[in-house]
Amino acid sequence: MMKMRIITLSFFVFLIGIGLAGFQTDYQHFFPGKEWKDDRGVHINAHGGGFLIHEDTYYWFGEHKIAGKEGNKAHVGVRVYSSKDLYNWKNEGIALEVHEDPNSLLVQGCVIERPKVIYNEKTRKFVMWFHHELKGQGYDAALTGVAVSDQVTGPYTYIKSVNPHAGIWPTNYPDSLKSWPVDLDRYERPSEEWKEAVVNGIFLRRDFEKGQMARDMTLFVDDDGKAYHFHSSENNQTLHVAELTDDYTDFSGKYTRVLPGLQNEAPAIFKKEEKYYMFSSGLTGWKPNPGKSAVADHPLGPWTPLGNPTRGTDEEMKTTFWSQSTAVIPVMGKEDAFIFVGDRWTPENPIDGKYIFLPVEFENSKPIIHWQDQWDLSFFDQNENTDE
């Protein structure tokens, strides 16, 4: 009897111990596509993620999804995690909350996707941009929203959402096309003539007065401190790359059309040895498709397509390992070590979506990715100068 009591007591002491200490993960590896617990023992909930390195810490911002069919709408906001080693992530709470006020554009039930945060050295503010769709309007609004905070983990204060560049032409749009008609009904779709009209900017001209569409997006800060906003525009047919103002909270007005008519979504940018690289995807909604890559000498372009970066089976190449790009993380303390991050969407139960972290390798000066069931950062030490 006495023995029983001691055992029961020890069990309770053990439980209290766990309660006080909290759940702790001790991952030493990445397990792409598997459940990934945070410091509370809960699967990480930061989809369409963006990564910021600040004071020797990685921050992972992403869409907080909920269970069920409505889970892709913003019911909560943008969640943020922190990590020192990229394997173990601490929940830092909600960085940007949706609003309860039905008159706010950021009202609960709107769409907030692919949030990205950058730090402005001059203003010492953290600036978040995200793809924003209005409640009850599907994906029609195609806005980009901006919010700021004094602290990296927030709370972020929402400033505004816009269709960028109303009344402003891209710097690489020829004068000769500016007065062409917006005769959308004239074309059979699909047809060669239609494709040509799209490449020649029929949607750009349509949206000239109102402002351009901005859907899937990312941010990139260059070594000189200039920041760029990449977004799918012109009915997702063409990317726009836009320079931000010095404080990063607005567009400077300088922007280019990139890869016109080539249908890029999910852009993710990194820089290696003075070259800028992009991973992106095609347009199949939540379903995966063959990944794409491109290279440029300047963020504003021109960008040259480099083809499908996935190396593997046909199925893997057609689906980017069943994922869609969202970011590339430069690894702290290692030269030219980059991690491709993709989402495995599960629209039937969005909270269940998984993440793909894979090392970026180079083959004939092209960034590529191979599958790994399990890997760790020592991969980059063994694979220095892999480019042949």
Q: Which residues bind ligand GAL (CB under 6 A)?
A: 48, 113-114, 216, 265-266, 283, 285-286, 324
Q: Which is nearer to ligand GAL, 51 or 119 (CB)?
A: 51
Least distance between ligand GAL and beta carbon 39 (Å): 27
Read off φ and ψ for residue 347, nearest 5 degrees: -60, -25
Q: Which is nearer to ligand GAL, 48 or 49 (CB)?
A: 48
Instruction: Give the Cα separation of 294 and 4 in Å (integer).
Output: 67
Instruction: Give the Cα separation of 287 and 289 in Å (integer).
Output: 7
- 343-to-62, 63, 114 alpha-carbon distances in Å: 11, 11, 11
CB of 30 closer than 8 Å to CB of 380: no
Q: How far is CA 278 from the centre of its chain?
A: 12
Least distance between ligand GAL and beta carbon 110 (Å): 13
Q: Which is nearer to ligand GAL, 82 or 280 (CB)?
A: 280
Least distance between ligand GAL and beta carbon 227 (Å): 21
Least distance between ligand GAL and beta carbon 326 (Å): 8
Least distance between ligand GAL and beta carbon 49 (Å): 11
Three-state SS at 318: helix
Q: How far is CA 145 from the centre of its chain?
A: 14
Least distance between ligand GAL and beta carbon 169 (Å): 27
Q: What angle do CA 308, 305, 339 make, to 5 degrees?
A: 55
CB-neighbour burial class of residue 179 (10 A; exposed 0-12, middle 13-18, buried 19+): exposed
Three-state SS at 329: strand
Q: Which is nearer to ligand GAL, 68 or 285 (CB)?
A: 285
Q: Which is nearer to ligand GAL, 155 or 347 (CB)?
A: 347
293 sits in which H/E element: strand 292-296
Q: Which two tokens stand for residue 156?
A: 């972020």
Residue with tokens 């901006």: 146
Instruction: Give the Cα separation of 166 and 186 in Å (integer).
Output: 25
Q: Which is nearer to ligand GAL, 82 or 263 (CB)?
A: 263
334 secondary structure, DSSP code: S
Q: What angle do CA 30, 116, 80 make, to 5 degrees?
A: 60
Q: Which is nearer to ligand GAL, 74 or 337 (CB)?
A: 74
Q: Which is nearer to ligand GAL, 113 or 361 (CB)?
A: 113
* CB neighbour list of residue 202: distance below 8 Å, 6 or more residues apart: 180, 182, 183, 184
Q: Which is nearer to ligand GAL, 93 or 285 (CB)?
A: 285
Least distance between ligand GAL and beta carbon 297 (Å): 27
**Which residue sits closest to ligand GAL, CB atoms considered?**
285
* CB neighbour list of residue 89: distance below 8 Å, 6 or more residues apart: 25, 36, 38, 39, 44, 60, 81, 82, 83
Least distance between ligand GAL and beta carbon 159 (Å): 22
Q: Which is nearer to ligand GAL, 82 or 264 (CB)?
A: 264
CB of 83 closer than 8 Å to CB of 89: yes
Instruction: Give the Cα separation of 181 and 202 in Å (integer).
Output: 8
